[in-house]
Structure 1
Amino acid sequence: MPQTLAEIRSLLAAIDRRPKHRLGQNFLHDHNKLNQIIEAADVQPNDTILEVGPGTGALTEQLLQIGASVIAVEIDPDLCQILRNQFGLDTNRWRLIHADVMANKHTLDPSVVEALQSVAQFSLIANLPYQIASPLLLTLACDHLALTRATVMVQREVADRITAPPADPGQNRSGKDYGPLSVMLQSMFNVQRIMTLPPGCFWPPPKVDSAVVQLTRHPKPLTHEPQKLRALVHLLFTRRRKQIGTILGRDAQLPPGVTPAMRPEQLTIQQLIAIQQSNVE
């Protein structure tokens, strides 16, 4: 049985602590939603799960009961104390890393990298604070190919950006949410929005809706040079209101169907990859 709201409150009260707003701590206590997330993640015995922000261990407990191995990364020392009290010292199926999962904007913490080095493949399950959602997902997508699936809770705004299609006036699509996060994740993964979570599913309730998004890595990625594509996409979308001919220059080699007058949000992922493969800087 997942933790109840009363149990979550009690675990924090036992160490005289409350949720920390600066760390984006909002604890999911809706049992139906938690069970739906576990079902969507399709966790199997002996799977390796990277759980970022395990909190009080509500999801961790379910994952261990299924028979998965959990590498949990928690930045808050108070929550680490709660997790140690519940699950004990590290074993071959449970490891707790007290760290910020991101060493910097583009690199995982070395202890997390070390824990993942011996793993042939792993899944990510996480309730991601706004400030780390994009850099973590982009880093795992591009630099850690052993990640096969991610099931993440993020602010709805981030979910909109992850799943956004390019602009298409004929379909009444503005492309305002389409950008580097959309392009890079969709080039590496099949992206699906699973559900929306209203604020009342969490304690304390956040000010905005959240959403669960699932990323399943393509058997054959659309690009084999994600870092080069990432650099091109960054160049284009930092000037997204400019025409690509202005951004790339008059001598740029553009693939069929792409004109200098187009803007970045109009380009499909395939077109962006074609531009990158033309060695346009």
Structure 2
Amino acid sequence: MQTISEIRALLAARGLRPKHRLGQNFLHDKNQITRLVDAAGLRAGDLVLEVGPGTGTLTEALLDAGAEVVACELDDDMADLVEDRLGTRLTLVRGDCLDRGRTLAPAVVDALDGRPFRLVANLPYQAASPLIAGLLVDGHPCLGQYVTIQKEVADRLAAAPGTKDYGTLTVIVQVFASVHRIGVLPPSCFWPAPKVTSAMIAIEPGPAADIEDPHAFARFVAMLFSRRRKQLGGRFDRAATWPDGISPEQRPETLTPDRLVALWRCFGHEP
């Protein structure tokens, strides 16, 4: 695994510097990298999607664990670096991992070739939320997501109803998966050190939710949380038969994910 000095040297040799606008904060702490790879429970031949490989520190650890790696890199300079160092050992996809900021890009989907995979990555902060949600609702055979993200995003994933962090992303993740916090990473684990604390989390699919159209359900929840304090009776027929435990006087932000699913089943698509 690369030290800070080695990462600096790799970049300096190419006249490169970390690009803040792309969220380039390279995870270099060897213990944390090992912790992330171990959490994924990889076996030889397992397929892994890594988003934002940077200089390839985590990539090397994944390859050494026997994984088959598809790495997606937005930055052409970093893609060139990784390809020169590890090109024969991985499949490199150049470009944004997301299509229109919402779903996996077609080039990534093609590289995965319909095979079950795990996401293991030090995620660029701007890609974290849409990528996490997209992998859960798009029907890809993702066996789990093992990632480092901003701690504030991790807090949202595990938030309870009625709290400020509880929202659309919380509901989507908790309906379709279970969330486990592996640990908290101080800024010193990265170079350059970010201004925020990070968290390492595992998101693993739960029992299949009885929702025929996950995308429509996600839009339904987003619609409700767009006015999270508006009483439900202002959106749905107060005279209708409401699900047990839900009343027209309640607000979306107070409902558990299970009750939001019940509301979806009762009222169907967006009003």
Tell me, yes or no, if structure 1 residue 126 matches structure 2 residue 125.
Answer: no
**Aligned partners of 1:125, 1:244: CA distance in 2, in Å?**
38
Instruction: Within 5 Å, give how 1:193-208 maps onto structure 2.
Output: 193-208=181-196
Name 1:166's counterpart in structure 2: 161
Contact 2:52–2:123 at 8 Å: present in 1 too? yes
Name 1:139's counterpart in structure 2: 134
**Deviations 1:99-138, CA, capped at 9 Å, x for gaps:** 100121222211011112331x100012222322111111
- Paired residue for 2:215, among 209, 223, 227? 227
Code of the residue aligned with 1:241 in structure 2: it is: R
**Aligned partners of 2:244, 2:207: CA distance in 1, in Å?**
26
Name 2:40's counterpart in structure 1: 41
Name 1:176's counterpart in structure 2: 164
Tell me whether 99-108 or 48-57 shows the greater mean CA deviation: 99-108
CA RMSD after TM alignment:
1.5
Instruction: Within 5 Å, give how 1:1-281 maps onto structure 2.
Output: 2-89=1-88, 94-119=90-115, 121-167=116-162, 175-221=163-209, 223-280=211-268, 281=270
SS of the residue 2:235 aligns to:
helix
In the TM superposition, residue 279 of structure 1 has moved relative to its aligned partner by 3.0
SS of the residue 2:72 aligns to:
strand
TM-score, normalized by length of structure 1?
Answer: 0.91
Code of the residue aligned with 1:149 in structure 2: it is: G
Name 1:170's counterpart in structure 2: none
SS of the residue 1:71 aligns to:
strand
Contact 1:141–1:185 at 8 Å: present in 2 too? yes
SS of the residue 2:152 aligns to:
helix
Query: Which consecutive unaligned segments of at least 5 residues does structure 2 have?
Result: none
Contact 1:239–1:247 at 8 Å: present in 2 too? no
SS of the residue 1:88 aligns to:
helix
Contact 2:58–2:121 at 8 Å: present in 1 too? no
**Deviations 1:173-198, CA, capped at 9 Å, x for gaps:** xx211111111111111111111111
Query: Which consecutive unaligned segments of at least 5 residues does structure 1 have?
Result: 168-174
**Aligned partners of 1:253, 1:199: CA distance in 2, in Å?**
51
TM-score, normalized by length of structure 2?
Answer: 0.95
Contact 2:49–2:120 at 8 Å: present in 1 too? yes
**Deviations 1:12-48, CA, capped at 9 Å, x for gaps:** 1110101000000000111111111111111111110
Aligned residues: 269
Q: 1:104 to 1:251 in 2, by over 3 A?
A: farther
